């Protein structure tokens, strides 16, 4: 079953509203007073809407993909398993288990990501599982993840068919206008609240808000100086990195841009600067020498070299080790690492564009 954009928006809007109602009653009942459960002004919780869309997309994909057939084909060629009769019931059970795992990953992943991001960036905690057992930080716990799984299954077998039957009964033009309007209002509400949260965060730290460009430059220089002056880091000036730029210049630019972004987002900018200046700390011309699969291996080489230069924090280690994601499979763990990863990609593209421009002009 292919799902259209309008159907996705319908699910998003409907379940953002339903999710808000669910949490409103649940939290108000527990605290014995009326509680707005969301971050936004309006009666919607987009995390529920996003989850609903992801559930339907994953279900559609699981149905259409041949993953199950591939697994069974493999099993049937395995010695000792040829005689197993993969009956319909057996297939359905496997399919159901795969689906549950996918639903669990989507709901728990989204819950962790949202909780972690808002806590780190704005120090806002929407929920606190510190009293629960089997939890990761205070953002997700086994008990609620199983509740989300039950909700996801209820969503698939009851709520989705009901919601789509309502959708198809309503006059298409009217429903189209309503869905798009509400989705736009949710988006505006989200942007408005994000701006408010960023402003509030800046007010908490006026030194950051009122910082002049020169002060910023001096602060950057202060942090980077001990590393910049280290002989191993200074050696990077000898190597061309992306044809024209030296590896030291590339690392400095990545460090500066990452610092500006991290500072604006009130993140650990010292770790960002230190991680970024060391992220490409390897001593060979990767175009003509060095190990095979340089793209995959140089983050670990850089990390080893960086460890000889200075003591590294967990964030700095993560920045260096994962700056080539998605080439290295594990995604960055901290927002600081994501910033350096994106800025590094941006600087690399920019440096190659400059090379192409030069070649073209010649
Ligand atoms: Fe790199
Ligand atoms: Fe780089």
For residue 315, the CA-to-ligand 2 centroid distance in Å is 17
- 240: tokens are 């061309």
Residue 256's contacts (CB-CB under 8 Å, 6 or more residues apart) are 220
Residue with tokens 């869905």, as numbered in its chain: 179
- 248: tokens are 């030291």
User: Number of structural domains, the chain?
Assistant: 2
Report the CATH number at residue 325: 1.10.3210.10
* Tens digit of each residue's pLDDT (9 = 90 or more) over 34-69: 888 888 888 999 999 999 999 888 887 776 555 666
pTM value surpassing 0.75:
no
Whether 139 and 83 map to the same domain: the answer is yes
Whether 79 and 32 map to the same domain: the answer is yes
Whether 218 and 295 map to the same domain: the answer is yes
Q: Of 350, 353, 343, which is closest to residue 257 (Cα–Cα)?
A: 343
Whether 132 and 229 map to the same domain: the answer is no
Q: Which of 171, 204, 237 is the last residue of a domain?
A: 204
Q: For residue 257, which ligand has an atom nearest its CA?
A: 2
Q: Which of 204, 234, 258 is the last residue of a domain?
A: 204
Whether 113 and 126 map to the same domain: the answer is yes
**Please, which pLDDT band fits residue 224 given cuts at 50, 70 and 90?**
very high
For residue 89, the CA-to-ligand 1 centroid distance in Å is 49
What letter does residue 332 receive in the DSSP assignment?
P
Whether 250 and 269 map to the same domain: the answer is yes
3-state helix, strand, coil in the chain (%, to 5): 70, 0, 25
Q: Which of 151, 181, 204 is the last residue of a domain?
A: 204
- Element at 149 (helix H, strand E): helix 142-154
Please tell me the predicted confidence (pLDDT) of residue 353: 87
For residue 246, the CA-to-ligand 1 centroid distance in Å is 13
For residue 227, the CA-to-ligand 1 centroid distance in Å is 18
Q: For residue 254, which ligand has an atom nearest its CA?
A: 2
The answer to whether residue 26 scores a pLDDT higher than 60 is yes
Please tell me the predicted confidence (pLDDT) of residue 290: 74
Average pLDDT, the chain: 86
* Tens digit of each residue's pLDDT (9 = 90 or more) over 197-217: 887 877 776 665 566 778 888
Residue 196's contacts (CB-CB under 8 Å, 6 or more residues apart) are none
Please tell me the predicted confidence (pLDDT) of residue 147: 92
Whether 14 and 133 map to the same domain: the answer is yes
For residue 119, the CA-to-ligand 2 centroid distance in Å is 29
- Element at 8 (helix H, strand E): helix 5-31
Whether 183 and 242 map to the same domain: the answer is no
Whether 259 and 181 map to the same domain: the answer is no
Please tell me the predicted confidence (pLDDT) of residue 194: 87
For residue 234, the CA-to-ligand 2 centroid distance in Å is 16
| Least confident range of 76-90, 154-168, 201-215 | 76-90
Domain that holds residue 334: 207-361
């Amino acid at each position: 079953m292919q799902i259209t954009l309008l159907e996705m928006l319908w699910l998003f809007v409907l379940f953002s509203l339903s999710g808000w109602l669910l949490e409103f009653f649940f939290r108000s009942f527990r605290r014995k007073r009326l509680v707005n459960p969301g971050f936004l002004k309006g009666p919607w919780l987009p995390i529920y809407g996003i989850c609903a869309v992801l559930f339907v997309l994953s279900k559609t994909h699981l149905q259409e993909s041949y993953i199950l057939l591939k697994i069974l084909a493999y099993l049937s060629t395995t010695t000792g398993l040829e005689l197993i009769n993969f009956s319909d019931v057996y297939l359905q059970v496997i399919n159901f288990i795969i689906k549950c795992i996918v639903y669990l990953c989507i709901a728990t992943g989204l819950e962790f990501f949202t909780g972690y991001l808002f806590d780190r960036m704005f120090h806002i905690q929407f929920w606190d599982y510190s009293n629960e057992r089997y939890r990761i930080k205070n953002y997700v716990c086994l008990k609620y993840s199983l509740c989300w799984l039950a909700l996801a299954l209820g969503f698939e077998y009851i709520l989705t068919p009901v919601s789509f039957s309502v959708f198809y009964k309503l006059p298409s033009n009217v429903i189209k206008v309503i869905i798009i309007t509400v989705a736009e209002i949710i988006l505006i509400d989200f942007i408005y609240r994000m701006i408010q949260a960023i402003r509030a965060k800046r007010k908490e730290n006026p030194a950051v808000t009122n910082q002049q460009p020169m002060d910023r430059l001096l602060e950057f220089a202060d942090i980077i100086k001990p590393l910049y002056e280290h002989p191993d880091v200074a050696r990077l000036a000898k190597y061309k990195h992306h044809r024209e730029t030296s590896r030291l210049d590339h690392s400095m630019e990545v460090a500066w841009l990452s610092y500006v972004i991290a500072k604006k987002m009130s993140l650990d900018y010292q770790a960002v600067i230190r991680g970024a200046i060391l992220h490409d700390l390897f001593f060979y011309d990767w175009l003509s020498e060095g190990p095979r699969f340089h793209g995959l291996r140089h983050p670990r080489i850089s990390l080893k070299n960086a460890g000889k230069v200075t003591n590294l924090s967990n964030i700095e280690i993560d920045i260096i080790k994962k700056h080539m994601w998605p080439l290295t499979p594990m995604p960055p763990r901290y927002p600081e690492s994501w910033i350096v990863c994106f800025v590094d990609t941006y600087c690399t593209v920019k440096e190659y564009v400059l090379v192409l421009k030069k070649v073209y002009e010649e």
